[in-house]
Amino acid sequence: METFDIRLLNEQIERQSSFVTNLQTGMGQVIVGQKHLIESLLIGLLSDGHVLLEGVPGLAKTQAIKTLASLVDAQFSRIQFTPDLLPADLIGTMIYSQKDERFQVEKGPVFANFILADEINRAPAKVQSALLEAMQERQVTIGKETFALPRPFLVMATQNPIEQEGTYPLPEAQVDRFMLKVVIDYPQIEEEKHIVRLNISGDKPKVNAILKSQDILDARAVVRQVYIDEKIEQYIADLVFATRYPEKYRLDEIAHYIDFGGSPRASINLALAARAYAFIKHRGYVIPEDVRAVAHDVLRHRLGLTYEAEANNVTTEEIISQIINKVEVP
């Protein structure tokens, strides 16, 4: 009976996930290469999570979320984080109206569906925490009033890894609020030539909306139906527990490199991201490969390394890869 149910579910999800291909095609017209970046944004959007992007300038980070917002016919807001930014610049403030002789709420740029928090580590802790509170609570308090943020609500924050002067690194507890931390690299040489051609021709493709905001909310309900077997749940728990107690998983060689492992939020987000990844691949059930595909992005910002790891140039990437290779696959 279960097999029959899964077959039906698989057919249903294959049908209902067809719009994903259209979104990927639409983004592919503007963004050359960067397949991983596009997939990560879709995982965040379908799982109601937020994405932290790390990459050098000029890798189409801004262009990617702008294009996605255009395809979904949603409101887009770009906030450039600077050292003199105040929380009120982000969430809004109370302004006195002489005409009405009373204070009125002036909403800030955070009241949009898609937020690009550009160079989030350039702003001081107060501003970062104001944004992270909005991300977590999906609401903002201005004066004595509380306002719900629009749905869907996706924050894509970027940080530049090469220039650390005048920046305020995000505290570990705050970084944990991001569902994924995605590291993006330079394009391949053929992609680079295509990018140059596209930009010097002056004929940039026009992006038209193919979905409404409500379609995304409906799709999220379908993503929640993607089947996760108990064995996959066990696999997810094992991966996260291996970051906390590596010696229990015959990973003694990396135990002294890990200061702290992933929180329960890591397990939750690993399951949600794997589910969304299966949906993107038009499948109604999660397989171990889905978990492995999203593991680096979900875990890389949730592990703390010891000084010994830094001294030996051991990275979180290497540690996660070792854990994935060692933990038994169901």
Q: At 158, phi and psi to the nearest 5?
A: -120, 150
pLDDT band at 216 (very low <50, low <70, confident <90, very high): confident
pLDDT tens-place string over residues 69-115: 888 888 888 888 888 888 888 888 878 777 777 777 778 888 988 88
The two tokens of residue 182 are 């995605």
Does the pLDDT of residue 1 top 50, yes or no? Answer: no
What pairs with residue 144 in β-bridges? none
Contact 97, 146 (CB under 8 A): no
Measured distance CA(143)–CA(134) in Å, rounded? 15
Lowest mean pLDDT among 46-50, 130-134, 219-223: 130-134
Lowest mean pLDDT among 6-10, 229-233, 296-300: 6-10
Span 169-195, average pLDDT: 78
Lowest mean pLDDT among 27-31, 212-216, 240-244: 27-31
Span 188-196, average pLDDT: 75
| Average pLDDT along the chain | 83
Percentage of the chain beyond pLDDT 90 is: 12
pLDDT at site 165? 59
pLDDT band at 277 (very low <50, low <70, confident <90, very high): very high
pLDDT tens-place string over residues 40-68: 888 998 898 899 988 777 667 777 778 88
Does the pLDDT of residue 269 top 70, yes or no? Answer: yes
Residue-range domains of the chain with CATH: 20-201+210-217 (3.40.50.300), 228-326 (1.10.8.80)
pLDDT at site 273? 94
